[in-house]
Amino acid sequence: MDTFIQQILNGLVLGSMYALVALGYTMVYGVLNLINFAHGDVLMIGAMIGLSILNLLGVYAPGLPGYVQLGIAIIGAIPACMIVNILIERIAYRRLRNAPRLAPLITAIGVSYLLQTFAMMIWGRNPLPFPQLLPTEPIMVGGAVISVTQVLLLVLAAVSMFGLVMLVERTRMGRAMRAVAENPRVAGLMGVDSNKIIVATFAIGAALAAVAGVMWGANYASIQFAMGFMPGLKAFCAAVLGGIGNIYGAMIGGIVLGIIEALGAGYIGELTGGFLGSHYQDIFAFIVLILVLTVRPSGIMGERVADRA
Amino acid sequence: MLTFDIQKNPKQAYISMALLLAALIIFPFAAAPFGNSWVRIADLALLYIMLAVGLNIVVGFAGLLDLGYIAFYAVGAYMTGLLASPQFATVLESLINMNPAVGEALAAMLGEDIRTNGIHLSVWVIVPMAAALAGLFGALLGAPTLKLRGDYLAIVTLGFGEIIRIFMNNLNDPVNITNGPQGINLIDPIRVFGVNLAGEQGSRATVFIGSFSMPSVNAYYFLFLVLTIATVFVTTRLQHSRLGRAWVAIREDEIAAKAMGINTRNVKLLAFSMGATFGGVAGAMFASFQGFVSPESFSLTESIAVLAMVVLGGIGHIPGVVLGGALLAALPEILRHVVEPLQMKLFGKVLIESEVLRQLLYGLAMVVIMLTRPAGLWPSPKHEERPDADSDSKGQSTGVMAA
Amino acid sequence: MNEQVILNIEGVNKRFGGLQALTDVRIKINKGQIYGLIGPNGAGKTTFFNVITGLYQPDTGTFELAGKPYSPSAPHAVAKAGIARTFQNIRLFGEMTALENVMVGRHVRSHQGVFGAVFRHKAAREEEAAIRKRAQELLDFVGIGQFASRTSKYLSYGDQRRLEIARALATDPQLLALDEPAAGMNATEKLALRELLVKIKNEGKTVLLIEHDVKLMMGLCDRISVLEYGKLIAEGLPAEIQSNKAVIEAYLGGAH
């Protein structure tokens, strides 16, 4: 039972990060019908920029409390990631809005590659240690342990998602975003500048990814130029699981996928009689994806359908 | 002018091909004074070209964006690893450890020789088996994707590629099939007509055919050249056939294709299968050539590299794909030999490593080509007479193409 | 007069979520007829087409082609059984030449596969030559034979429509189903289309036709059915349809 609670907690932590990144995928898909393949690498950029900021602070202001330093890192990473994502949209995707399906996808893959290469050039190819700024004593929660960093992660994720919901449901821009996602042309007739909305969508998605990136680094204590690929892919699976194009779906899908993965990794040894071990953890996301696309393509929240009859 | 367009100008096309063939045959001998590494680069480039031409069936002809293509390369390579090396002995051993009853029974059936030395099938058996196994996997991995639209198909195939890699990386416990991250070693080199292409023991990797001798890399070069030509030949024939037309029909408009009686499910599966078989054969060659296989040769990076070759060269146009393959496979290697020393000379230090340069090239290739020249560097030549002012009626279409 | 029934369909119902798109629609077409299907926009004509040709699955319905029941479960099976169609928004294989488009039409009546493609043995070569020949014949038949090697997306609108018809004819259908073949055409083009359809009828083919141009339909069709809101409101000879009150009301003064 202890293991179970531990895995649930691990799953929540993992799932929160997936949720943050999944939101970026789902929002962009909602307005452009495009999978921003490079989104996982935006998470990586967030982590890298965050690390650079922390290193600077470590040199010039080592006395600052850990929370503050992390806060500054996040606040610094957000605009950086926004700029990166906005540039990607402007340079790579905008021209291909009406191109056949394959073109933007291939371009997105190329962009992902380029981001990784630039990161490799700037920060090197070796894993970099991420400073542990928060108290490391674990907190006991009913037989399982959770670190302060992980608690902060959960809080930040919750706050960000709440903020996003407020933005989408209560503000003018949020309404405009929903309109463009539904029907760009009619939204245009209502006076909405869909280009501006698309840019805003990319920016918001990037901001969420930045938070996830910095906290990922804080949680795993190590980052590397290729770190964004897997989480990005899994976050996409989460978005599909929840119902691509649906914001609540992305949040739910992220959490659910995180829990599935944690439970799976924890119990797979027993389930397969020792044949498969926890190294196979990464497979779960793909299995979930394939199952969802085969059985219920519209996902948990039943949004856009993934296939065409 | 060099042209390979048989339809437009047969005589010139055949002459061009003959010239190219002559150049290819002479190449290893011309490169000899500069050392073996250039031919070695060519060997690997030929393998990549085979992969690119195979992937072209799936992506270029049928329009199915397969991001996990390298899985078939891995299947062919690992199968060779299991059936042409001492590895099977290890498999048996670990099986006996896990389940003595079953293990001993199997070992008894297979015989003492296999128990100690593993399985060592000849290349004549391995290649068809690799093709068949890869083809089977092609159909298996393609089957769940049949109803999916482009983006989702890409991600699912990517997922499959990753799943295969993860399995290759971890199937070493409790039964050691793939030997995990270390991979499989001591894979038999290729033996044809009694000639060992890696050279006999003590010959310092020299191959003797009659009174004629050449370095092992050259021997492999000619073998791979023959295989690559065969690959190009077969896929070209497939392209200009009922099946090839069906693939393009599906790519252009799947609904119309169905309405014209094409069983799109089967035809798509055929695309996956046929594409995969070339990957499998290339994989078998790779394993024998390199002598070992490990999971890091079969990552997503490689799948994307092959895709980049197809995209850069000219999606759907076989000569373009060959060009793309040659460029992207050889260029990084050439750069490695040239750029780093050059940077040392100019700047006194290496600013950009060749690895980084390689990735930069691939990324830029995909983005720039898609934005500026989406048909690729060498797209299919258009045969039709371009519509000009006097032969087309006025009052042109109102944007009628496929809804 | 040959009274053989080519298409006999009864009791078709189709619902999309909350919308009842088709209610108890039936149709009976004799061999050699040109049968028209008209109705205001949104009446369900294309939906009915899609049901007959296997693109949509009906909720209920019986389907018979030339006396044999067929199952509209998959478009390619329907094509094999003998119904070929064209589309409202032309669906050509844009990057292929006109000839290649029609050659694809022959797919369902030929069978060479991988072996034939790679080895090109005698039977394969002969089949391929026969496909090519028939495709050229059909292009000549519809009047665009000279554009055989032109990439189809560069053909003029009218020629693209003809090409689509040629491609459908290539499947040797028992029934040719055309979805608004005259859409977007001017008067001259419509006349040419009319001539082509008569020519097809004279070859003994049976045609089912959706159209909006009432005048064209009246002069061309042997029988007409009228749909409105997914229901059949009239059925009979053109003259009968023209004077039918329900039809006149449905159209409120007729189409263009």
Model confidence at A100, pLDDT cuts 50, 70, 90, reads: confident
> For residue B106, is pLDDT > 90?
no
Which token pair is B33?
């004074």
pLDDT of residue A273: 65
User: Quick check: A107 and B366 CB within 8 A?
Assistant: yes
Average pLDDT over residues B352-375: 84
pLDDT tens digits, one per residue of A277-308? 667 788 888 888 888 888 888 888 875 543 33
Beta bridge partners of C210: C37, C179
Q: What angle do CA B145, B148, B154 make, to 5 degrees?
A: 70
Q: Is B309 exposed, middle or buried (0-12, 13-18, 19+ CB in 10 A)?
A: buried
Average pLDDT over residues B303-317: 91
Residue B390: how many CB atoms within 10 A of its CB? 5
Q: How far apart are CA B155 and CA A300, in angstroms?
A: 19
User: Quick check: A293 and B174 CB within 8 A?
Assistant: no
Interface membership of B330 toward A (CB under 8 Å): no
Beta bridge partners of C38: C226
Q: Which residues of C touch B246 (CB under 8 A)?
A: 104, 107
Model confidence at A1, pLDDT cuts 50, 70, 90, reads: low
Q: Which residues of A touch B359 (CB under 8 A)?
A: 113, 116-117, 120
How many residue contacts between A and B have a Cβ separation below 8 Å?
122
pLDDT of residue A305: 47
Q: Which residues contact C23 (CB under 8 A, 6 or more apart)?
A: C13, C230, C231
- Interface test with chain B among A109, A126, A234, by most B beta carbons within 10 Å: A109
User: Quick check: B258 and C117 CB within 8 A?
Assistant: no
B194 or B77, which is more confident?
B77
* Highest-confidence segment of A130-139, B249-258, B352-361, C232-241: B249-258
pLDDT tens digits, one per residue of C190-234? 999 999 999 999 999 999 999 888 888 888 999 999 998 899 999
pLDDT tens digits, one per residue of C141-181? 999 999 999 999 999 999 999 999 999 999 999 999 999 99
User: Quick check: B243 and C112 CB within 8 A?
Assistant: yes
**Separation in Å, CA of B168 to nearest CA in chain A:** 11
Interface membership of C89 toward B (CB under 8 Å): yes
pLDDT tens digits, one per residue of A182-234? 887 788 888 888 888 999 999 999 999 999 999 999 999 899 998 998 899 89
Interface membership of C174 toward B (CB under 8 Å): no
Beta bridge partners of B93: none
CATH number, span C1-82+175-256: 3.40.50.300
Which token pair is A286?
């793909």
Residue pair C223/C12 in contact by the 8 Å Cβ criterion: no
Interface membership of C46 toward B (CB under 8 Å): no
> For residue B276, is pLDDT > 80?
yes
Residues on chain B bordering chain C, Cβ-to-Cβ distance under 8 angstroms: 234, 237-238, 241-246, 248-249, 252-253, 255-264, 270, 274, 382-387, 392-393, 395-398, 400-403
Q: Which residues of C touch B387 (CB under 8 A)?
A: 150, 154-155
Q: What angle do CA B91, B97, B99 make, to 5 degrees?
A: 95
Contacting chains of C (3 CB pairs or more, <8 Å) are B
Q: Which residues of C touch B237 (CB under 8 A)?
A: 117-118, 120
Which residue in the set B243, B252, B264 is minimally distant from C93, CB to CB? B252
pLDDT of residue B351: 67
CATH architecture, domain A2-295? Orthogonal Bundle (1.10)
CA A142 to mean position of chain CA atoms: 29
User: Quick check: A96 and B371 CB within 8 A?
Assistant: yes
The two beta strands, C206-210 and C175-179, are: parallel
**Separation in Å, CA of A151 to nearest CA in chain B:** 31
Helices then strands (H, E): number in chain C?
A: 10, 10
pLDDT of residue B392: 42
Q: Please, what is the average pLDDT of chain A?
A: 87
Beta bridge partners of B215: B206
Q: Is C194 exposed, middle or buried (0-12, 13-18, 19+ CB in 10 A)?
A: middle
Which token pair is A192?
């909405």
User: Quick check: A233 and B169 CB within 8 A?
Assistant: no
User: Quick check: A307 and B144 CB within 8 A?
Assistant: no
pLDDT of residue A274: 63
pLDDT tens digits, one per residue of C4-51? 898 999 999 999 888 889 999 999 999 999 999 998 888 889 999 999
Chain C residue at shortest CA distance from B263: C76
Tell me which residue has tokens 């399985």: B119
Which residue in the set A109, A114, A282 is minimally distant from B166, CB to CB? A282
Q: How far apart are CA B95 and CA B103, in angstroms?
A: 5
Q: Where are the domains of chain C?
A: 1-82+175-256, 92-172
B residues 40-79 closer than 8 Å to A (CB): 59, 63, 65, 67
Q: Where are the domains of chain A?
A: 2-295
pLDDT above 90 coverage of chain A, percent:
45
Q: Is the ipTM of this complex over 0.95?
A: no
- Interface test with chain B among C76, C111, C174, C175, by most B beta carbons within 10 Å: C76
pLDDT of residue B386: 52
> For residue B6, is pLDDT > 70?
no
Average pLDDT over residues B251-261: 94
**Separation in Å, CA of B265 to nearest CA in chain A:** 13
Interface membership of B113 toward A (CB under 8 Å): no
**Separation in Å, CA of B248 to nearest CA in chain C:** 8
Would you tell me the crossing angle of helices A39-60 and A2-32 to the nearest 10 degrees?
Answer: 110
B residues 134-173 closer than 8 Å to A (CB): 144, 147-152, 154-156, 158-160, 162-163, 166-167, 169-170, 173
Q: How far apart are CA A173 and CA A193, in angstroms?
A: 11
> For residue B398, is pLDDT > 60?
no
Q: How far apart are CA A190 and CA A184, in angstroms?
A: 10
* Residue B161: C-alpha distances to residues A307, B209, C206 (Å): 21, 40, 50
**Main-chain phi, psi angles of B47, to 5 degrees:** -60, -45
> For residue C189, is pLDDT > 50?
yes
Which token pair is B152?
């989702």
> For residue B390, is pLDDT > 70?
no
Q: Which residues of C touch B393 (CB under 8 A)?
A: 156, 158
